[in-house]
Amino acid sequence: MDDYMFTKSKFNLCVGWERYLDNTRTTIFLQKTGRHIRNLIFKPMNNLFSLYQFLKTALMLYHYEKGTLGNVTSIRLYFAVKKIGVLEDEKTFGTGGQMLEKFQEFLGIMENLQTLDLRNFLLEVEDAPFLDQVCGVCCETLQTLHLINLTRKPKTLLYPGIFVNLRTLYISPQ
C-alpha cells in the first residue's frame, strides 16, 4: 500500500488538493479479495491518516467477516523518517499513539504470520512493548523477524527469544 492506493483527491482550502482513503473502495476490495492476500507491504507514506483508516477498516471487516485477511503470512511496514534540521538533536517524527494502537490490534489478529518486517518506527522506550500481542498470537508461526530502528534510544528487546520457530532475525543496534 502506498499514498495512492484506494484514495480519492479532495480539495482543502488550507493545503490544496490532498488524497484521503476511500472507505467504500477499500471495504469492497477487502471483502472480495481479502481471503487471497498473502503479503502486505506498507511503503513509506506522507499521509499516515490513510494508513490508519486502512487498518481501522481491515479490523472492522475482520470482526464481521472472520476470513478477511486470515491468510496473510508476511507484513512489511516501512515508515519514512523525517529529520528537522541538522543541528536540532532528537527531533524526529515517529508513528503516533493511535496509529500504534491500531497497528498493535492489527498484528494481534494475524494468526498465520510468518514474516514481520518493521523499519523506522522510532518509538519511545515506554512504547516499545507494543509487540506483546504478536508474541501471544504468532509465537509458534513467526519465522522471520526484522526490527530495524524500532526505538529511538537503546532498549533491550526480549521478543526474539519468545518466537520458538524463528529462523531469521535482523535487529538494529537500538
- Contact status, residue 140 vs residue 111, Cβ threshold 8 Å: no
pLDDT on residue 84: 45
pLDDT on residue 1: 67
Strand, coil or helix: 128: helix
pLDDT digits (tens, 9 = 90+) for 23-55: 888 899 999 999 999 999 998 887 788 888 899
pLDDT on residue 95: 53
Instruction: Quote the strand ranges of 64-114, DSSP E.
Output: 74-78
pLDDT on residue 86: 42
Q: Which of 168, 57, 77 is nearest to 131 (CA)?
A: 77
pLDDT digits (tens, 9 = 90+) for 149-174: 888 888 887 778 888 899 999 998 76
pLDDT digits (tens, 9 = 90+) for 115-151: 999 998 888 877 777 777 788 888 889 999 998 988 8
Confidence category of residue 76, pLDDT binned at 50, 70, 90: very high
Q: Which percentage of the chain shows pLDDT scores above 90?
A: 26
Cell numbers representing residue 106 in the block = 492489527
What pTM value is reported for the model? Answer: 0.83
Mean of all residue pLDDT scores within the chain: 83
Q: Where are the domains of the chain?
A: 28-171
All residues at 6 or more sequence positions from 93 whose CB lies less than 8 Å from its CB, including other chains:
81, 82, 84, 122
Residue scoring higher pLDDT (140 or 86)? 140
Measured at the CA of 142, the angle between CA 105 and CA 137, to 5 degrees, comes to 40
**Class assignment of domain 28-171?**
alpha beta
pLDDT on residue 114: 94
pLDDT on residue 157: 78
